[in-house]
Amino acid sequence: MAATIRLSERHVGLTGTNPSVGTLIVRDDGDGPVIVGRGITAPGGRPHAETIALTEAGDLAIGATAYVTLEPCAHHGRTPPCAEALVRAGIARVVAAAGDPDPRVSGRGHAILRAGGISVVPHLLADEARQPMSGYLARLTRKRPEVTLKLAVSRDGMIGRRGGGQVAITGPVANAQTHLLRARHDAILVGAGTIHEDDPALTCRLPGLESRSPLRIVLDAGLRTALSSRLVRTASETPTAFAVLGDPAAAAAFRAAGCELIACEAEPGTDRIALEELLDDLAARGISSLLVEGGAQTARSFLEQNLVDRIVLVTGDTLVGAGGIASPLVPSDMPADFRAGRQLQLGPDLWREYERRTF
């Protein structure tokens, strides 16, 4: 199962509204177990992992064991249910990890397998299997994307310098890890102030992964971002959206540049975008994972409204000094309901992850 989970990691961020699921078909004819079929949910979400693995295994699937990271689907969509496909293929045993909260599947996939004479072993390494599909699980259970807040914090607790443009807080290894993080998300969000101060590209620029740049979303209630900004100029190359209030005067120019405008509600009594309603809208269009990268006010708003599920703090050795913008969060102030996860030493920089799990 651990190998199946590792396999499922390969397509995280590529499978649309479906989770990236892994499947291994294993048989033992007396000389030890042999993998005869491998499958990962295909880019775009179809075909499913079970179908791919069964196709590779062919007749060798008869009497074999299927390891799957998510309960096989039980509903008819564009293709028949994977649970039925496993029965038809002659699989003798299914070892499953996480259950599927989709009401069309939950418990029904396992029931179809058992009714077809297949032995089912559920919930093996379920917590580990949920990690690659955590965005999908959040969208199904919370009706919003899973939100990861990422902050790069200097040695003196700053995330930048006001009016000074981009400040290099972390080095090349940590920066490459950030680009990988972007590639694993459906969308990335920043506030308009970050665009004004830093003019970032917000793309994945790792060799070979450039096509995995996520949808870029800017919170800009009045649409005051300059048309000359890097995001607007590259909107025809990388999907870009602006979350706005009403119908700003500049709307036509932004649409002509290739930008999408997302009409949002305002927080009561303010001119700020209502984040919770925005997340609802993003989930409705199939966005399962959202990376929030800046700036201080945007990060603080997500934290104060309890909309953050995972936190990535990267601390560098840089001293920002006078004019610095204080980070809304440092390791010593981590909210009590977050637990420490992976920690990486990336050259001189320290990468820390914290997560809150309620699935």
DSSP code of residue 273: B
SS percent in the chain: helix, strand, coil, step 5: 30, 25, 45
> Distance (Å, rounded) from C-alpha 311 to C-alpha 115?
43
- Read out DSSP for 194-253? HHHHH-------STT-GGGPPEEEEE-TT--S-TTSHHHHTTTTS-EEEEEES--TTHHH
Residues 6+ apart with CB under 8 A from 63: 27, 90, 91, 92
- Read out DSSP for 59-82? GGGTT-EEEEEEPPP-S-SSS--H
Return the SS3 of 110: helix
CA dihedral 300, 302, 306, 309 (to 10 degrees): -110
Task: Confirm whether 50 is a catalytic residue.
Answer: yes
Phi and psi for 346 in degrees, rounded to 5?
Answer: -110, 85
Give the dihedral sign, CA 8/87/137/243: positive
Catalytic residue among 50, 146, 293, 353: 50
Q: Which residues are catalytic?
A: 50
